[in-house]
Structure 1
Amino acid sequence: MTSLPHDRYCDEIAHQVGLLRAVVTSGADLSATVPTCPDWSLEQLVRHTGGALRWVELMVRTRAQEEIPEEKVPLAGGPDEKGDPAALDAWLAETGEMIVGALREAGPDAEVWGWAGVLNAGFWARRMTHEVTVHRADATLAAGQPYDVAPDIAADAIDEWLEIVEWAQRTLPDDPARELRRPGSSIHLHATDNTPGVHAEWVVDLAEDVINWRRGHEKATVALRGPLTAVLLAFYRRLPLDSPEVEVLGERELLEFWLERATFG
């Protein structure tokens, strides 16, 4: 599946970091538990997200040919001050400038280690776009704030998620995604928004050991319908299936079967 242009990812990372900073400085309780990541507080979530961006920045900037241990990344854990929104915001602002600068300077084809067999900076631009996009959703849920995302980014995030599941099935023998085989069964994701230029429908066939998926409108065993942002969040397990924002038609158990096993991130 064709991904978005490299510059689009760079622009979106900068945009998403700015929106995440706005959550940090909005007066939200940094000690609040993140409902979708209950092991973390809001502050821990922000530190995790910024740390991931700094880790990737170091790998891209140095053109690393093997994984760099996270403990070797300067300030990966965030500022020394705890519970200080101003310090956290400043660290996050610097983090955003660093990662976007490194990715733009490298360009998409620069050779860099990657865990999914795609060994270039373009992989990391896309991966970090969706890392921060989804974790910003976690942050806004914790802060009780509204969330939305551009249609092209949301659709590409679903594409990437399906590619990751496919990769896990092919390469990780112990991953729960290996259990995602149900002959004769399929899932249809249907965004009900009418967005020009974005065909936001997917069909996922579970007949084989590795999923077969494509963009399109077809009858399936179960369908998940709703606005694109809501479909994205539900498919990433950030929105309950019984939420009024989405509708499940057909065999709900099949969709639950998928969500229990597609667990990366």
Structure 2
Amino acid sequence: MTLLGHDRYCDEIVAQTERLRAVLSGADLSAPDLSVTVPSCPDWTLGQLVRHLGAAHRWVEKTVRIRAREEIPDEGVPEFEGPDDSDPAALAAWLTEGAEMTAATLRAAGPAAEVWSWGWERNAGFWARRMTHETVIHRADAALAAGGAYEVDPAVAADTIDEFLQCMTFALAAGDPEAAELRGAGRSIHLHATDVPDAEWLIEFGDDGFTWRRGHEKATVALRGPLTEVLRVFYRRLPADSELVEVLGDAKLLDFWLERASFG
């Protein structure tokens, strides 16, 4: 596993946000308040999705800027909730501004700056990577809601899967009850991107949980397809029975994973 590098993560936070904003500007929305429902997050409208992501960016920006030593409250983050009105242009501008602020603060701090996080690393580098992939995945949500195209650079997409698996490993170690159910020796899942060399993963279940690594090996079930589509299935942004991917072997095991694999 090779990380993309701190500067690249900072760049991607802005670039992925701009691509999400392009989805918004190109969408044929039925209402000016972005009230269309997000299929992959059915409790949210598109407007609520944008506010969630923009708030996350600004929360991380303040966390890193003040070198927080504990989780900071939402109400202490300037402009956390976004503009009062529901004008799409105002909301999109707020989203872009927050992403740019966050990237600038992370870049200035450097990856080793010590700061609170919920994860396995407590530094600005953790948050640069986390916000990159948070934005990548919510861009997929926006594309689903607005009917836009969705593609991800192969290096970014592969790292999004790596980071997801690291988050799940951390959740297992932290005692997350759903992660704890991901066990059962003798079973395994193989992810195989058919359009990107070496973009393959093996998840192996044991009596005490699961482990993962990059590699091409036979498994109980294999999920095959273009890397972007494998990513979307793995993050539950595309059904596993989609014609865009292929499932070979015990499909119920893949469903077992997808029903329980989440964090945050």
**The 10-residue stretch of structure 1 (57-66 or 25-34) with the greater mean CA deviation from structure 2:** 25-34
Contact 1:24 1:88 in 2 (8 A): no
- CA distance in structure 2 between the partners assigned to 1:229 and 1:156 by the alignment: 12
- Residue-by-residue CA offset, 1:183-210 (whole Å, 9 max, x unaligned): 1000000000035xxx200000011423
Equivalent residues of 1:59, 1:68 under 8 A apart: yes
Any gaps of 5 or more consecutive residues in structure 2?
Answer: none
Note if 1:50 corresponds to 2:54: yes
| Partner SS, residue 25 of structure 1 | helix
Q: Distance in 2 between matches of 1:149 and 1:66?
A: 33
Q: Distance in 2 between matches of 1:207 and 1:62?
A: 41
Assess if the C-alpha contact under 8 Å between 1:169 and 1:209 holds in 2.
no
Aligned to 1:178: 180
Give 3-state SS (helix, strand or coil) of 1:139's partner: helix
Q: Indicate if the aligned counterparts of 1:170 and 1:210 stay in contact, CA closer than 8 A.
A: no
Deviation digits for residues 137-180 of structure 1, max 9, x if unmatched? 000000011100000110001011111111111112x4301100
Q: How far does residue 96 in structure 1 lie from its aligned partner after superposition? A: 1.4
2:141 equivalent to 1:130: no
Is 112-121 or 221-230 further displaced after alignment? 112-121
Secondary structure of the equivalent of 2:213?
Answer: strand
Distance 2:120 2:167 in 1: 11
What TM-score does the superposition give when structure 2 sets the normalisation length? 0.96
- The 5 Å alignment of 1:88-103 reads 88-103=91-106
Over 3 Å counting, the alpha-carbon distance change for 1:224 and 1:5 in structure 2 is same
In the alignment, the residues of structure 2 paired with residue 127 and residue 219 of structure 1 have an alpha-carbon distance, to the nearest angstrom, of 30
The answer to whether the 8 Å contact 1:60/1:112 transfers is yes
Equivalent residue letter for 2:160: A
- Pair 1:144-2:144 in alignment: no
Deviations 1:78-114 (A, max 9, x none): 11112x1111111112111100100110010000101
- Pick aligned residue for 1:33 from 17, 37, 41: 37
Residue 2 of structure 1 and its aligned partner are, at CA, apart by 3.6
* Corresponding letter in the other structure for 2:187: S
Contact 1:54/1:95 (<8 A) preserved: yes
- Cross-structure match for 2:90: 87
1:47-75 deviation per Cα after TM superposition (whole angstroms, max 9, x unaligned)? 00010000000001111111111121111
Quick check: 120-129 or 92-101, which moved more? 92-101
Letter in 1 for 2:133: H
Which residue type is aligned with residue 106 of structure 1?
Answer: A
Aligned to 1:256: 255
Going from structure 1 to structure 2, the CA distance change for 1:27 and 1:235 (only over 3 Å counts) comes to closer
Moved more, 201-210 or 119-128: 201-210
Q: Report the Cα offset of residue 76 of structure 1.
A: 1.1
Identity of aligned residues (%): 63
The one of 57, 61, 81 equivalent to 1:77 is 81
CA drift of 1:263 comes to: 2.0
